């Protein structure tokens, strides 16, 4: 069977599986709501306002895409959701911290997030700063000592190291810094891809690879295949995000659109245009799906998730 | 020998040892300068401005009090400086992150720190935000994987857990939130002590106990004694800080004075007055020194450090 025929058949399978996957995705989302609520500090404990603001920011919204990547990878590798739930919480907590800080006036100055006032609007700037500052150590604490994470000390350390690298200056925080530095500048597409790889790609990739770390050691080829999948999805996801900022509507997205061009951010569509960006998402999508081939049917969840992520409208 | 006589003799010893300890303290400070410089991302790596701002904030200033607590505890327990250097760096990085974020306009809005412009003044607010955000994961990364930390995976995890708790909502970030919440309020002395215990005490305590974690398991009584020492020093240190804000001068301190009362912060001197605060520092100092009795001469460094910390003028 040649590649094109193979892709067509897989596309049909995906379409048939999309409704079923939608239910799975929603079940994971609900699971995360409980999992996160149980791990966040209670609002009746001092400092109550900070704890409330942390819960406001983390709970009651969010697609939980990164946790879904952990769960789908777990399935692919024969693990259960329980095996990676604590790691999924850690990843989601650092994701939310990054949103809360990015929304601050000194950064993107956004008033709306997930259809609600951003943390510094609902509370105040100092509280939003502390929410982000306190979500970070909570994430590391879960990886170090959450009793539901069935990982050896050595594996926990690997997870901590991976998360720390994914959100540090060669990952998310570095991507943010580049994003700030290049506003109004002309970048080539390689530079935009480097920025995206750090800003969003690093944590998406860590979501997949941290789940893999929880499984019995993978054959090097399979690990490389998963890495290719995660890298392609991470980049495609951010290009899709850039596209939605241009073509989406604020109501569906739950946040303001057109913000990137207003800030003169060198996004993917700004550099190569909308059609070429859409084409790039399709190509990366294919690369991602092809990378999963060695896993066969076991990777169905990951395949459906990639399909859902890269055709999403919000 | 009764307690009073014992204390008198110890006070004489301390005074004789102060000059010698000054040299030791300075040697530790220099050691930290190299240790931190080697572990911070290089300024020629992208994102260069963020890396520069991290190095600006961490290097070239700072008394390195928390690292000194680790080194002195290491000596007391028969460890070398090498054994705890990476942990000392982790503690100092989170300390600097907290200073950089506390100095931001949304928090204390300070222009001067360690006699130089604060990070957001030397760079900009967004960069200062990211400096703090990036120093946190670097600290956890050192504890997870620094090759110079000679600790088993289980001990590394304990260190990560301790650091995460010390800087989370039941530690430093929580103390900051309380500090913000109570400005202009009348607190009783118990509430001020709770705030201090979190804001400064938790990391001071963690500095001592993380060093202890690196040593062979301690007898429970000795561990309890070290905990008493660390708790007393942590609180006394913050009261001394409050006192210096009232009685110190900006030139010696390298930062503005009188800032606490300007912000109507309920500090220790504001609640009980200067003489009672000074008396409390002396009492805690004695408690701290008494707690070290079971360690005998081996605790000389810790004793000298406590003496230095609690009689400091800057």
Mutation pick from A39, A126, A175 vs chain B, by most beta carbons of B within 10 Å, is A126
Q: What is the arithmetic mean of pLDDT over A65-88?
A: 98
Q: Are B164 and A137 within 8 A, CB to CB?
A: yes
> In angstroms, what CA-CA distances link B188 with A17, A46, A49, B16, B271?
62, 16, 20, 39, 7
Q: How far is A46 from chain B (nearest CA, A)?
A: 8
pLDDT tens column, B128-187: 999 999 999 999 999 999 999 999 999 999 999 999 999 999 999 999 999 999 988 888
* B45, B97, B140: residue with CB nearest A140: B140
Angle in degrees, CA A27, A32, A33, rounded to 5? 100
Q: Which residues of A touch B51 (CB under 8 A)?
A: 169
Q: Which residue has the tokens 């700072």?
A: B62
Determine the pLDDT at residue A11: 56
Q: Which residues of B touch A106 (CB under 8 A)?
A: 104, 124-126, 129
The Cα–Cα gap between B96 and B5 comes to: 41
> In angstroms, what CA-CA distances link A286 with A234, A235, A293, B35, B190?
13, 13, 11, 46, 62
Q: Which residues of B touch A51 (CB under 8 A)?
A: 169
Please say whether the beta carbons of A307 and A229 come within 8 A. no
pLDDT tens column, B107-128: 999 999 988 999 999 999 999 9
Q: Are strands A116-117 and A112-113 parallel, antiparallel or unpaired?
A: antiparallel
Average pLDDT over all residues of chain A: 91
Q: Band of the pLDDT at B1, cuts 50, 70, 90?
A: very low
Contact map slice: A 59-88 vs B, CB within 8 A: none
Question: Domain locations in chain A?
Answer: 7-310
The Cα–Cα gap between B52 and B122 comes to: 11
Q: How far is B32 from chain A (nearest CA, A)?
A: 21
* A134, A137, A154: residue with CB nearest B153: A154
- Is A170 near chain B, with CB under 8 Å? yes
pLDDT over 70, % of chain A = 89
pLDDT over 90, % of chain A = 79
CB atoms within 10 A of CB B3: 10
Determine the pLDDT at residue B11: 56
Q: Are A134 and B51 within 8 A, CB to CB?
A: no
Q: Which residue has the tokens 């069935």?
A: A150
Please say whether the beta carbons of B131 and B62 come within 8 A. no
Determine the pLDDT at residue A49: 96
pLDDT over 90, % of chain B = 79
Integer-rounded Cα radius of gyration of chain B = 19
> Which residue of chain A comes nearest to B53, CA vs CA?
A177
Enter the ipTM.
0.92
How many CB pairs lie under 8 A apart between chains A and B?
158
- Is B26 near chain A, with CB under 8 Å? no
Please say whether the beta carbons of B199 and B175 come within 8 A. yes
Mutation pick from B91, B109, B140, B192 vs chain A, by most beta carbons of A within 10 Å, is B140
Q: How far is A1 from chain B (nearest CA, A)?
A: 44
Range of weakest confidence among A79-88, A120-129, A264-273:
A264-273
DSSP A204-252: HHHHHHHHHHHSSPPPHHHHHHHHHHHHHHHHHHHHHHHHHHHHS-HHH
Q: Band of the pLDDT at A57, cuts 50, 70, 90?
A: very high
Which is more confidently placed, B248 or B266?
A: B266
Dihedral angle, C-alpha B145, B147, B151, B155, nearest 10 ° = -10
Determine the pLDDT at residue A262: 66
Q: Band of the pLDDT at B265, cuts 50, 70, 90?
A: confident
Which is more confidently placed, A162 or B259?
A: A162
The Cα–Cα gap between A127 and B185 comes to: 18
Strand-pair partners of B112: B117
All residues at 6 or more sequence positions from A232 whose CB lies less than 8 Å from its CB, including other chains = A284, A285, A287, A288, A291
Residue A249 has pLDDT above 70, yes or no: no
- Is A154 near chain B, with CB under 8 Å? yes
CATH C-level class of B14-310: mainly alpha
Dihedral angle, C-alpha B172, B178, B179, B184, nearest 10 ° = 180
Mutation pick from A138, A144, A203 vs chain B, by most beta carbons of B within 10 Å, is A144
Dihedral angle, C-alpha A195, A198, A199, A203, nearest 10 ° = 160
CATH topology for A7-310 is: Farnesyl Diphosphate Synthase (1.10.600)
Cis amide bond preceding A47, omega within 30: yes
């Amino acid at each position: 069977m040649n590649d094109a025929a193979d892709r067509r058949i897989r596309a049909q399978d995906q379409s048939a599986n999309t409704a079923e996957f939608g239910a799975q995705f929603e079940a994971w989302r609900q699971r995360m709501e409980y999992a996160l609520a149980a791990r966040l500090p209670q609002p009746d404990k001092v400092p109550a306002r900070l704890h409330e603001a942390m819960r406001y920011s983390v709970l009651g919204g969010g697609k939980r895409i990164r946790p879904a990547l952990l769960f789908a990878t777990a399935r692919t590798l024969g693990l259960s959701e329980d095996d990676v739930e604590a790691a999924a919480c850690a990843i989601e907590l650092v994701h939310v911290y990054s949103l809360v800080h990015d929304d601050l006036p000194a950064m993107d100055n956004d008033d709306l997030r997930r259809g609600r006032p951003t943390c510094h609007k609902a509370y105040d700037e100092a509280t939003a700063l502390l929410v982000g500052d306190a979500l970070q150590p909570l994430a590391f604490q879960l990886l170090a000592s959450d009793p539901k994470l069935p990982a050896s000390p050595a594996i926990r350390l690997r997870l901590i190291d991976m998360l720390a690298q994914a959100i540090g200056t060669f990952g998310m925080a570095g991507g943010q810094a580049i994003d700030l530095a290049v506003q109004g500048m002309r970048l080539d597409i390689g530079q935009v891809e480097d920025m995206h790889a750090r800003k969003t790609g690093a944590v998406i990739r860590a979501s997949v690879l941290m789940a893999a770390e929880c499984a019995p050691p993978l054959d090097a080829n399979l690990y490389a295949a998963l890495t290719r999948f995660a890298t392609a999805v991470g980049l495609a996801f951010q290009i899709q995000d850039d596209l939605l900022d241009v073509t989406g509507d604020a109501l569906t997205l739950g946040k303001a659109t057109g913000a990137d061009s207003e800030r003169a951010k060198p996004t993917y569509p700004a550099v190569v245009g909308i059609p070429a960006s859409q084409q790039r998402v399709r190509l990366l999508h294919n690369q991602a799906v092809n990378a999963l081939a060695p896993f066969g049917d076991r990777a169905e969840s990951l395949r459906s998730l990639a399909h859902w992520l890269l055709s999403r409208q919000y």
